Structure 1
Amino acid sequence: MHVPLIVTDFLDRAVTLYGDKVAVIDDHKSITYRELNERVNQLSYGLGSLGVQKGDKVAYLAPNTLEMLEGFYGVFQLGAVMVPLNIRLQPHDYTFILNHSESKILFVDQELVHLIEPIISDLTSVEKILVHHCTNENKEFTDYDAWLSRYSKTEYPRATIDEEDVASLLYTSGTTGNPKGVMLTHRNNYLHALTTMHHLRVSDRDILLHILPMFHVNGWGSPFYYTANGATQVMLRKALPELVFEKIQKYGVTIAHMAPTVLNSLLEYHKQFQPKIEEKMRVVIAGSAPPPAFVGRVEEDLGWEFIQVYGMTEISPLVTTSQIRSEYLDLPKEDQYRLKAKAGYAMIGCKVKVINDDGEEVAKNGKEIGEIVTRSNGVMKGYWKNDEATMDTIRNGWLHTGDMATVDERGYIDIVDRKKDVIISGGENISSIEVEGVLYEHPAILEAAVVSIPHEKWGEVPHAVIVVREGHLVSGDEIIAFCREKLAHFKAPKSVSFTEELPKTASGKIQKVHIRKEFWKTDRLVN
């Protein structure tokens, strides 16, 4: 008999096996898995009373909180679709996403209400707005806690759901044009959870700190596979280094997912304040490849295990991991760090290739560059109401990621850049990630981003935007000279600018598109 793969199974399992165990620790409360399930039932009954039916969209604008986590399961019991919203957008972005997704109900955290207030009259499908921890007098808003308390905690009669039904609709940040809504099914989320929990060694002994925002591809699936394993989940509203260390110490955190920039801020904070670390934690990182020395600092200075992974919203999201395979455990530490810094090799259930323009796999020499393509059970159903973009992304059964990479002789994939971030200077391809890796070796550099800028002779050349470490002084000429010692001269930045802060997404990813825009919107050329 075929049993459909529905993600509500995960909470059911946790309640059965870990009902009395602490499920969630939030700033204002701590609850067990049984209590979490009761709140989920109340939410489902409440949504039903508002007319929410199978297939309806329910949007959430909230940081990592208990209310955000219970939203997934409360929405799913009705066969409705969860639409988590990026908390760092502008009001007009929410107008587009809420209207495009046809969201019927919107849940908002009190601290984010100001992002919704200006656009209420522009929303075409939203029928009700409920506010978590509401202190607002606006008659448009309903207080969530008071509303939730009116409904039964008893088992909710679930809708009949097929594993190919859409569970979540996640909008990718649009670098050009409007964001696209990625449809992930119950099957996508379920099989991704099974694959990922294996590779990350998730168990009921884990205590997860939710650093990566849950709207960000569902925090890399964390509401699913940590729940399925009965792990305790500690909420974090803002990824401030002092708060992260405080919660790690207080609750004995064993694992956390975060962006490289957040991990870098933790390294800096640790270097300055030396907070006590007792737990050997696993840190799961996705994003541009860090320098091997960065991996070394995490493992030696913090005593944490560094796990680099790779994925994107359209693939649920993870398909590779860089953990050292057994045959390479005898390699020198430096070589191991180099491997750990790469995107790595395919997870179970995923096929991943790097192909050239002719569709052939690149040579395993660490030099030939191609595009990463993948097939897996995690590949999205498609973009909501955008067949053209779906067909452009999924071709001949393979999803084209737009990420450019090499493959080394051991089969480890190494991302060199986004297709749009590769700098083509005088016909030569330059990886901005490679240049940034060198910049991070400079003792005065805290953060760096390398982008292309227009050039009269070469078409475009690399430019470095630098955040200088506190207490250090460095000139642009010094930085260029430093890079020229370590790179081919054409790869070294031709110019440098300094800033106090780099623009970042809510997950901590540096937004190069905003940096690049500043240089390309003018007519000035670098000579």
Structure 2
Amino acid sequence: MNTQTEVKVEYTNLVEMQEDSCRKYAQNSLYGTKKNGTFEWITYQEFAEKVDQFRGGLASLGVGKDDKVAIISKNTVPWAVSSYATFGLEAQFVPMYETQLTKDWEYICEDSGTKILLAANPEIYEKVKEFPKKLEKLEAVILLEGNADEQTLTYDTLLKKGQEQATPSRKPDYESEMGMLYTSGTTGKPKGVLLTHHNALFIVSSATQAFQLSHQDRSLSFLPWAHSFGQLAEVHMLIKSGCSAGLVEDVTELVDDMALVKPTIFYAVPRVYNRIFDRLNGQIQEKPQIIQNLFRAGLKHAKREREGEALGFLDSLTLTLARKIIFKKILARFGGRMRIAVSGASALSAEVAEFVNDLGISVMEAYGLSENFAALTGNLPGARKFGSVGRPLPGVRIEIDSSVEGSKEEDGEVVAYGENIMKGYHNLPDQTRSTLNESHGLRTGDLGHLDEDGFLFITGRIKEQYKLENGKFVAPAPLEEELKLSPFINQAMIYGLNREYNVALIVADMEIVKQFADEKRLTGSDVELLQLPEIREQFKKQIESHSTSFKNFERIENFNLLDEEWSTDNGMLTPTMKVKRSVIEEKFKENIVSLYS
């Protein structure tokens, strides 16, 4: 599938892009930080001044061409300032997650050859302050925010140094490396994805052109910028377009923050949209029957209208009433201005996408990997197909390698071509050669197919699919995602390698389970409740109702219920919230074996 639209790249490096935007949008708001219940905004001009100052501060520490500056922090103004200050010294930026383990931070610092490490707060600083004694190339650790003694180098100290000793920005070459994004390591140690200024500028230009962003757009930022999706959308694309973003301090206050920030565009992962779907459906069920009926009828007629069907007078009136009485109030909770909701990083259920869309927010599912700087395809205004991840973005080409066998006849490995494809993996030549073909095409490791209109459908990961005893391939991810739409199911992992049938480990949503138990007058501890026949029967019904669109051999024959959520803290999830299958399989080996007894 070739895209015909030409991508116009206006700059030769990210430094030029940032400096140009800060001149054009000098008095516009850029980032907002919540303080005492309100958001305080920094302008593009103020941001540029801080970038200049921090660049001087880093230069005073000897940071120069190709040096590595790493950061452990959530999304903050100092994060964005530090990244562009680093680029302006022709150095490379290496972001990490606050949720990673200390050993992962140490490994990434050592593997990347980090010279300067930025720590978000005193708690993280205490964990990493001794790193320079262990790592040959690491020279200093900087505390970004929080109280410090006189011996500690801080963000504010470096800003002051840069103010006193101005350092003009240097302009990196188009093909020079802008930094590394470390993959989350579901099957081993994290790999450093080498990305160039060319990679970044190409996909920034392609995606801003495709999604039609303008300086009037505003987002609410909570996706970590250490991840390619968050960084592309809410750092580089945002700055190029003159947009603004409120920075979420506490994700539990996300809905409250929406009302304050009033975003026009929202970037999130499917888990967030699934929660919105669950919560809204749950809340509607508590309303009077007349409201429930109007809500369901409104969604039904909104879908018909979207699909081009002409509505009769009564159906049109019902839709108008639903929008004015119910949908408008729901949209007001999201700020009342949201025009686009972009989903990425994993598969979004078509049912959830249609639900949110028909409430009045255009849902655009996109697809990409760290190895191509986040974006390859997208559902765009005027060109959407629910269940797909859209068509290739401008300048991107997608091919399907049918020599790779999948669970569906039309599937093969998705291979991507474009100027956003990474330079390679840092210090891993063999893995680079196995991932990039002779034409610099990226072997994504994803199974999928293109339909007759050029829309891409992703059906699973090659490394996750397995063969049953009967020789049939099973890609577990689609059913796992569908099961998580049940309010009773928090997480799920399906297994069946060389077995007669599939089984599943299911992490129950204990809040919903306890509500159900109260209604049925069932008692016991969490573990005891999950063993009760009435509870298991309810889960069996949930599994069956969410498996109707899957073939018999893809479905689950038996399951085990768990009460402890998988998380980064217990080592079951990566920092990007992906399931570590091998870790879970090992920990619950006996549980899995018992399901075949």
* Same-fold call, TM cutoff 0.5: yes
Does 1:259 pair with 2:305?
no
Closer/same/farther in 2, CA of residues 349 and 3 from structure 1, 3 Å limit: closer
Structure 2 residue aligned with 1:316 = 373
CA distance in 2, matches of 1:253, 1:196: 19
Indicate the RMSD between aligned Cα atoms, in angstroms. Answer: 2.9
Pairwise CA distance, 1:199: 1.7
- Aligned: 1:461 with 2:502: yes
**Alpha-carbon distance between aligned partners in 2 of 1:297 and 1:517, rounded to the nearest angstrom:** 37
Select between 89-98 and 285-294 the one with higher mean Cα deviation: 285-294
Q: Does 1:297 align with 2:342?
A: no
Q: 1:396 to 1:269 in 2, by over 3 A?
A: same
| Alignment CA distance shift 1:477-1:31 (3 Å) | closer
Shift of residue 425 of structure 1? Answer: 1.3
**Aligned-pair CA distance for 1:440:** 4.3
Kept in 2, the 8 Å contact 1:58–1:105? The answer is yes
Aligned to 1:162, the other structure's residue is in SS state coil
Residue aligning to 1:146? 157
Structure 1 residues 116 and 297, CA gap change in structure 2 (3 angstroms): farther
- Secondary structure class of the residue paired with 1:145: helix
Q: How many Å apart are 1:453 and its aligned residue?
A: 4.6
2:465 and 2:473 in contact (8 A); partners too = yes
Q: What's the secondary structure of 1:27's corresponding residue?
A: strand
Write the distance in 2 (CA, Å) between the matches of 1:317 and 1:95. 25
Q: Structure 1's 12 and 511: CA in aligned 2 closer, same or farther, altered over 3 A?
A: same
> Which amino acid in the other structure matches residue 434 of structure 1?
P
Match of 1:518 in 2: 587
Q: CA deviation at 1:255?
A: 1.3
Question: Which residue of the other structure, out of 13, 16, 22, is the alignment partner of 1:9?
Answer: 16
Report the alpha carbon displacement of residue 428 of structure 1 after superposing the two structures with TM.
Answer: 0.9
2:166 is the alignment partner of 1:168: no
Please give the secondary structure, in 2, of the residue aligned with 1:307: strand
Matched, 1:430 2:474: yes
Give the counterpart of 2:397 among 351, 357, 372.
351
Residue 121 of structure 1 and its aligned partner are, at CA, apart by 3.8
> What is the aligned length?
504
The answer as to whether partners of 2:448 and 2:458 remain within 8 angstroms in 1 is yes
Check the 8 A contact 1:183/1:384 in 2, yes or no. yes
Structure 1 or 2, whichever has the larger Rg, is 2
Aligned partners of 1:500 and 1:294: how far apart in 2? 26
In 1, the alpha carbon distance for the partners of 2:130 and 2:563 equals 31
Match of 1:329 in 2: none
- In structure 2, distance between residues paired with 1:65 and 1:239: 14
Contiguous gaps of at least 5 residues in structure 1: 327-335
1: CA distance between counterparts of 2:481 and 2:153? 49
Match of 2:420 among 378, 382, 391: 378
Aligned ranges 1:324-473 → 2 under 5 Å: 325=382, 339-357=385-403, 367-397=409-439, 398-426=441-469, 427-440=471-484, 442=486, 444-453=487-496, 457-458=499-500, 461-468=502-509, 470=512, 471-472=515-516
Q: Distance in 1 between matches of 2:168 and 2:547?
A: 66
Q: TM-score, normalised by structure 2?
A: 0.78
Q: CA offset at residue 143 of structure 1?
A: 2.3
Question: CA contact under 8 A between 1:449 and 1:512: conserved in structure 2?
Answer: no
**Is 2:480–2:494's contact at 8 Å kept on the other side of the alignment?**
no
| Partner Cα distance (1:484, 1:196) in 2 | 35
Aligned mates of 2:450, 2:264 — CA distance in 1: 31
Partner of 2:286: none
In the alignment, structure 1 residue 25 sits paired with structure 2 residue 36? no
Is the contact made by 2:56 and 2:158 (CA closer than 8 Å) also made in structure 1?
no
The residue that corresponds to 2:520 in the other structure is: none
In 2, Cα distance between equivalents of 1:407 and 1:467: 35
Q: Which position in structure 2 is the counterpart of 1:192?
A: 203
Q: Report the CA distance between 1:56 and its aligned residue.
A: 0.2
* CA displacement 1:384-424 (0-9 Å, x = unmatched): 11111111110122110111112223222111111121132
- Distance in 1 of aligned mates of 2:590 and 2:356: 39
Partner of 1:330: none
1:131 maps to 143
Q: Deviations over 1:214-241 (max 9, x none)?
A: 110262413112101111121123433x
**Contact in 1 for aligned 2:340/2:362 (Cα 8 Å):** yes
Name the structure with the higher helix share. Answer: 2
Contact kept, 8 Å, 1:168 with 1:185, in 2: the verdict is yes
Does the CA-based 8 Å contact 1:75-1:82 persist in structure 2? yes
1:287 aligns with 2:294: no
Q: Structure 1 residues 42 and 309, CA, compared in 2 at 3 Å: closer, same or farther?
A: same
Letter of the structure 2 residue corresponding to residue 356 of structure 1: S
Q: Assess, with a 3 A threshold, how the Cα gap between structure 1 residues 356 and 135 changes in structure 2: closer, same or farther.
A: same
Counterparts of 1:297 and 1:447, CA distance in 2: 20
The 1:126–1:112 alpha-carbon spacing in structure 2 relative to 1, beyond 3 Å, is same
Which residue of structure 1 lines up, in the alignment, with residue 258 of structure 2?
Answer: 248
In 2, Cα distance between equivalents of 1:76 and 1:483: 48
1:498 aligns with 2:536: no
Question: What is the 5 A alignment of 1:95-114?
Answer: 95-110=106-121, 112-114=124-126
The one-letter code sitting in structure 2 at the alignment partner of 1:374 is A
Stretch moving more, 153-162 or 244-253 = 153-162
Matched, 1:488 2:551: yes
Query: 8 Å contact 1:212–1:258 — kept in the other structure?
Result: yes
Residue identity in the other structure for 2:157:
A
The 1:264/1:239 distance shift into structure 2, 3 A limit, reads farther
For residues 130 and 277 of structure 2, the distance between their equivalents in structure 1, rounded to whole angstroms, comes to 39
Q: Give the Cα–Cα distance (whole angstroms) in 1 for the partners of residues 73 and 433 of structure 2.
A: 32
Identity %: 23
Residues 64 and 91, structure 2, Cα contact 8 Å, conserved in 1: yes
Equivalent position amino acid for 1:260 in 2: P
Question: Partner amino acid for 2:504?
Answer: H
Structure 2 gaps, min length 5: 1-8, 284-329, 518-534, 568-572
Deviations 1:39-92 (A, max 9, x none): 000011001100001100000111000001111210010000000112221111
Distance 1:93 1:120 in 2: 15
The 1:105–1:297 alpha-carbon spacing in structure 2 relative to 1, beyond 3 Å, is: same
Distance 1:166 1:405, change over 3 A: same
- Structure 1 residues 10-47: Cα deviation after superposition (integer angstroms, max 9, x where no partner): 22222221111111111354211111000000011001
Q: Distance in 2 between matches of 1:114 and 1:282?
A: 41
Residue 532 of structure 2 corresponds to none
- State the Cα distance separating 1:264 from its structure 2 match: 2.3
CA shift for structure 1 position 325: 4.5
Distance 1:138 1:419 in 2: 53
